[in-house]
Amino acid sequence: MIKSFLSWCEREKYIKVNVATKVEAPKVPRKLLKGFTAKEMEATMEASFYKKTIWKLETKPY
């Protein structure tokens, strides 16, 4: 965030040299996300199918 601010200051000519150009951002470890279980996927698909079926029954042509 400070690096971006200093880059903006340099572009707008508030400063002559951006001293943050040589600073490297720290590397943040990536998290491995937990996937859905088979039961959760089945429930999602069933809910989606149910809503689509109800939507088709409730829609009226105008």
Query: What pLDDT, on a 0 to 100 scale, did the predictor assign at position 22?
Result: 87
Mean pLDDT, the chain, as a whole number?
Answer: 81
Residue 25's pLDDT band (cuts 50, 70, 90) = confident
Residue 10: closest CA among 20, 18, 2:
18
Q: What is the pLDDT of residue 62?
A: 53
- One DSSP character per residue, 1-62 reads -HHHHHHHHHHTTSSSS-GGGGPPPPPPPPPPPPPPPHHHHHHHHHHHHHHHHHHHHH----
